[in-house]
């Protein structure tokens, strides 16, 4: 419970601020879009958090043994990630999840189910990376107005003027 409180408190504080600010949820596309986007954000954060915490742990252990690790840029924006690339990159997280969840199932099946908010990200690392890197998903979220920021729904005049001058679109 303490971990959840610490992990989610910045997100929850932002959500509370948007709800308590007059018209706050409207700036995020309205109450329905805001609620759906908030739920997506929390679920995605849990799934991605497991993968990144594992990677950070490997990185820190590597540093302790003198290994230098390079954090390269992502090339997901325009192309997505292939299943092969995702498996090659995320097999350690998936293996860790299979081992941990398998042990939990052996020890006490109920414990496995209670652990899923923390362990599902390891098990779902590969499909989560492929799906969330999909340009189609990004375009669908944009079309539906999900996971947007206020500037997506009401861009500042400087942005719209720049887009019009450059021939771009929102």
Report whether 27 contacts 150 (CB < 8 A). yes
Q: Higher confidence at residue 79 or residue 16?
A: 16
pLDDT 10s digits, 46-81: 898 888 888 888 888 888 888 876 666 655 556 789
Residue 73 to residue 88: CA distance in whole angstroms: 17
Q: Higher confidence at residue 46 or residue 165?
A: 46
pLDDT 10s digits, 120-142: 999 999 999 999 999 999 899 99
Report whether 96 contacts 54 (CB < 8 A). yes
Report whether 27 contacts 154 (CB < 8 A). yes
| DSSP 8-class letter at 26 | G
- Residue 83 CA, chain-centre distance (Å), reads 18
Residue 93 to residue 48: CA distance in whole angstroms: 11
Mean pLDDT, the chain, rounded, equals 87
């Amino acid at each position: 419970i303490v971990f959840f409180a610490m992990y989610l408190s910045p997100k929850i504080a932002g959500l509370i601020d948007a709800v308590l600010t007059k018209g706050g949820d409207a700036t995020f596309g309205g109450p329905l879009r805001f609620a759906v986007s908030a739920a997506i954000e929390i679920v995605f954060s849990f799934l991605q958090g497991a993968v990144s915490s594992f990677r950070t742990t490997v990185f820190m252990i590597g540093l302790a043994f003198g290994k230098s690790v390079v954090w390269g840029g992502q090339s997901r924006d325009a192309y997505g990630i292939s299943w092969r690339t995702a498996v090659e990159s995320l097999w350690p997280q998936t293996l860790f999840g299979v081992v941990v969840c398998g042990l939990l199932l052996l020890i006490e099946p109920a414990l496995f189910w209670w652990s899923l908010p923390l362990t599902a990200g390891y098990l779902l690392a590969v499909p989560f990376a492929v799906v969330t890197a999909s340009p189609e998903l990004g375009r669908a979220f944009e079309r539906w107005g999900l996971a947007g920021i206020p500037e997506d729904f009401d861009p500042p005049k400087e942005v719209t003027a720049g887009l019009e001058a450059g021939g771009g679109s929102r």
